[in-house]
Every structure is written in C-alpha cells, then in structure tokens.
Structure 1
Amino acid sequence: MKRGIWAALAVLPFVAACGGGSDGPCKQLTSAGWVACTPSTTPPKVDTSIPEGIWGGGTSDGLAVSTLVLETGQYFIVPTSTSGIGLVEGMMSGNNGNISDPAAVIYPASNVPVAGTLSGSFSAKKTLTGTVSANAALSSPFPSGSMSSTFNGNYNSLYDSPATIAEAVGSWTGQTSGSTVTLTVKSDGTFNGANSGCTFSGTVSPRSTGKHVLDGKITFNNGACVLGAGASMTFEAVVNGNQLAAAGVTSQRDHAFVVLATKN
C-alpha cells in the first residue's frame, strides 16, 4: 500500500530575531520597523481523528484481543486463544469518532490471509469498538466459519511513555501462529530466535514518536522459514512488564509475523 506525502512551503512575511545581550526580548521586522514578537496562545492541534494508542479488550466470542494503532493510521489487532494467534492489519481513517478501513487483511492462525473490512467507533484515550468483516469464512482463532468478528478495547496509558530497549532485554518464550517461539534480545537491540526449525535475527529500537512502541526488523535465516532464507520484514513491538507482543506484515501483505511472549 502506498501513501502519498504532501509537503507545504510557507512564505515568511517577516524575520524574527531572538537573543540575549543588548538585543532584549524577541523582536520581529514589520513595515513599521522592529516590534516585539507576539507569542502564540494557540495550543498545538492534537489529531484525534483516529484512536492512536494501545488498547486491550476482547472479542464477541470470548477471545482476548490487543490492538495497536500508530500515528500513521496503521493498526494491528491481535486476537489470541489456546489454538493460536490471529492478526488483522490495515490502514484506518477516522471521522467524528468513527473509523473505517475498506482494505483490511485478516490472518488466521493458518497464516492464509483473507481480505476484509474494518468499521467501528471510539472515544479518544477511553474506549474502542469495532467489527472486522471478511470476504471468506474465517478460521481459528477467529470464530470458525463466521464472516465477521466484533471486538472492543480500553485505552492503556502506557502508550504515552517512551519505550526503551532495556525493557526488551532478556530471553522470551511464547507463541506464534500455532507453534512455540523463543527469542533473546541483547542490550544493543539485536535479537535472535527460533520456532519449528526456523531461525531468525534482527534489531529493535524505540519509535521516534516517543510513544511506547519499538520499531523492529526481522530476517529469516534458513529454508525452514516460510519466507525462505534471507527474507525480511518490519514489525512493531510493545513490552508491558514481562509481556511482549510483536506484529508485522510483508510489503505485499501476503504473510504476517506475530508473537506473544513472556520473559523467562
């Protein structure tokens, strides 16, 4: 999915100079000469059109679900059950507390993606509800045979504090799509791990937004990995105490990487 980038060029009507010494307080040059700067009393605008943040809740059929919405609008919805981990990924837009995505991709535990849509509503930093509708019958951990699943979430204020690599350092054991995964994260942000004969390595670093998210890149090292030796993808991770959740998709959105793990 490609997103356009808009750049704006501003024409400066005056020059401002701020400094100490004999210059005194901040001044600006106008047609009447140098006058005192007028400080702005307008607070910076906060974009509340999408439910940016970390959300924890459940699905209509009783599964636990974790949701991460980035400032870009990209989101990861991760439902879990004893039979596996699923994922819904996409790019949402919002308007007056409502959210939608006409091009969501749903990844059941089998990792065979299904096209779908997302719709829902939210109250900023409070609650989130939504429905994921599929173009084909869903399978575990989603309600098998169903064409939709509803979910909810409560805002986790952890999102508002910066993430650190130190939180992730250590050894972890958890679950990926139907199998056990182990990984070790070092103090420099590098990691390595394995699941079902597939070995992998990569790096994590704090997201530049200052939110509680780690940006990561994973590279698969051998032929036992689904994507083959040398393939890589980016992902996002959240550490909350001794719990780690990570999710990402390939650029073609045909495969996903999702892990829930506990620190050993």
Structure 2
Amino acid sequence: MQTKLAVPALSLVMATLLAACGGGGGDSASPAAAAPTTPATTTPVVTTPAPVLASAQDTYIGTLSDGREHQTIVLENDQFYTMYGRTAGGAFGIEGFLQGNGKSNNGSFSATDVVDSTTTTLRTGATVTATYAPGVSLNGSVVEAGSSVSFTSAPISTAVFNYNATPKLTDLAGSWSLTSLRGTSNIFTVTSTGAFTATSGACTFSGAFVPRASGKNIFDVNMTFGAAPCVLAGQTIKGIAVSYVLTNGKRQLIIAGLDAGRTNSAAFVGVR
C-alpha cells in the first residue's frame, strides 16, 4: 500500500510547488489517486483431532492361551477382576481370579500390581498389558513369574448380562449353595436388603451386597469371617459380586475379593 500511494503524493507536492512559482497554470487535471488493493486471503487449514477412546470399562468374555475361559470386569475406576476357569453343565466354574488396578489410555490398558488368587495360593507381582475397543474387545497378555499367558475377549451378550442395567438386590435375595475357590461348600442366606449370613461347616461369617455407586450392574460385597475353624478367622474381605441368568434359565452368582493388604482372598460361585 505504501508503494502505490507514493506516486500521487509526490505529484501533488510538485503541483503545489509549480503553482507557487507561477508555472503549471492552465486547466490540467490533477492525477487521480490509485485505487486501493484488497489483500489476498487464504483459507485456514482445519485439522480434525483423532477421537480419544473411552476407558476399557465393561464386561468381557473370552479364552486364555492355556485353554481356559475368562470373564473380565473392568470397573469405572479401571480396577478389574478376571475370573478364569471352565464351563461345565452350562455354568462357569472358577479356578482362580486376577485382580488389579489398571489404567486405560486411549486403546491401551495396563496394570502392574496384579494379584493372582488360585485354588491353592495367592501370588503377587503379575502384570497385564492389553489393547481394547470399549465394550467390544480386550486382548493382551498376563506375565507372571516369567511365564506369559495371552488372552482374547469379546463383549458378553446383553441377553446374558447387561453391565449398564440397574443392579437388583431381588436377584440375590434368598438361599444360595456356593462353592469356594478352595473347594468348600457354603450356604449363603441373603435378605432383601443385601445383608447375608453364611456357614461353611463350623465356620460362620456375614456381610452385605451393596449396589455399586456407579449404577452399573455390579455389587460391592464385604464379608467378615468368624473365629476358628474359619481359615480366614477374623479377616474382612471386600470385592465384587455379579449375577446373571444362564441359557438353561438358572441364575449364577460369582463373588471375588481380597483383604485390605491384598494378602488373603476369597471367591465363591454357585447356581440356583
């Protein structure tokens, strides 16, 4: 713009000087001012950011590379429970469970504090690394004591279990005959409020099922064992419980939990 406006400005100055000196008379027209130019415009490039995947929160079912099956629940806080075992007579039988505090990160899931509770012992120091599509797949591996087991999974059919449904204490109320992870028989009597008492031979314990605050179809569970001969005498176990209808119309209940120090565990499973 400065270059365009310099010529008429100089002509105007010269004309003024000539008039002052008595020259440049006549009817000559003043030079016209140059028309301003419009600067060229460019269209900004808009980049659409890649979508960020939600957490792995949901329920999944699948197989392990050692031939066993698994049912995995990833909660809203990325804590997870993986029950593994085999299906027999249409019901899922637990042979152990993994529990850990994981982290979802845009399609990657990992946990470094995994505890593995088996039928004979409780082992610590396992790690899980996986990839996920929320509510669609969860695939990865568990590394424990130098050995690795891979797993694949897909969502559990909502016709069997709907993670987003409202949990109902009426599904649990009544009597259950449950087998513990260690193979003992237990009778649970659950009230309409979720409180329960249980016996296993001469061992007695009690606790409560509470619908999870997230509103998802999971129950928080706590139980405190009585004195000896209870194996976990005086210990309190906290964890989760899930109940769903099997294809034969019967209802299954699965309970799994650990103590506060994650050094003792308990799990129960049964059908009625």
Residue number among 251, 254, 270 corresponding to 1:261 in the alignment: 270
- Give the alignment partner of residue 200 of structure 2, picking from 189, 195, 202: 195
Which of 204, 227, 237 is matched with 1:222 structurally? 227
CA contact (8 A) 1:84 1:175 kept: no
Q: Paired residue for 2:252?
A: 243
Query: What 5-or-longer segments of structure 1 have no aligned partner?
Result: 1-45, 137-146
Over 3 Å counting, the alpha-carbon distance change for 1:160 and 1:131 in structure 2 is: same
Aligned residues of 2:254 and 2:268 also touching (Cα < 8 A): yes
1:184-206 CA-to-partner distances (Å, cap 9, x unmatched) read 21112111223354321111121
- Give, in whole Å, the separation in 2 of the partners of 1:47 and 1:166: 38
Gaps of 5+ in 2: 1-50, 246-250
CA 1:224 to 1:152, structure 2 compared with 1: closer, same or farther past 3 Å?
farther
Q: Tell me the CA shift for residue 84 of structure 1.
A: 5.6
Q: In the alignment, what sits opposite 2:181?
A: 177
User: Which of residues 52, 56, 65 in structure 2 aligns to 1:51?
Assistant: 56
Question: How far apart are residue 132 of structure 1 and its match?
Answer: 1.0
Contact 1:218/1:235, CA 8 A, preserved across alignment: no
Query: Which letter maps to 1:167?
Result: D
In structure 1, what is the equivalent of residue 163 of structure 2?
Answer: 159
Match in the other structure for 2:101: 91
Q: Is the 8 A contact 2:59 2:135 kept in 1?
A: no
Residues 1-264 of structure 1: pairs in structure 2 closer than 5 A:
48-81=53-86, 85-135=95-145, 147-156=147-156, 157=158, 158-179=162-183, 180-195=185-200, 197-229=202-234, 231-241=235-245, 242-263=251-272
Identical pairs, percent: 26
- Assess if the C-alpha contact under 8 Å between 1:85 and 1:175 holds in 2: no
Flag the structure with larger Rg.
2
C-alpha separation between the residues in 1 aligned to 2:197 and 2:262? 23
Q: State the Cα deviation string for residues 204-248 of structure 1 (Å, max 9, x = none).
A: 12111110011111010121222213x212111111120111111
| RMSD over aligned Cα atoms | 2.2
TM-score (norm 1): 0.72
Cα distance between partner residues in 2 of 1:172 and 1:47: 43
Partners of 1:155 and 1:66 lie apart in 2 by 10
Cα distance in 1 for partners of 2:123, 2:202 equals 23
**Which structure exhibits the higher relative contact order, with contacts defined as CA atoms closer than 8 Å and separated by 6 or more residues?**
1
Question: What displacement does 1:130 show?
Answer: 2.2
Match of 1:202, as an amino acid?
A: G
Given that 2:83 and 2:98 are in contact with CA atoms closer than 8 Å, whether structure 1 keeps it comes out as yes
- Note if contact 1:50-1:94 (Cα within 8 Å) is conserved in structure 2: yes
Report the residue type matching 1:199 in the other structure: T
Count of residue pairs the alignment pairs up: 207
- CA distances 1:99-128 after superposition (whole Å, capped 9, x unpaired): 111221112211332321001111111111
Output the CA distance in 1 between the equivalents of 2:242 and 2:52: 22
Q: Name the SS of the counterpart of 1:222 in structure 2.
A: coil
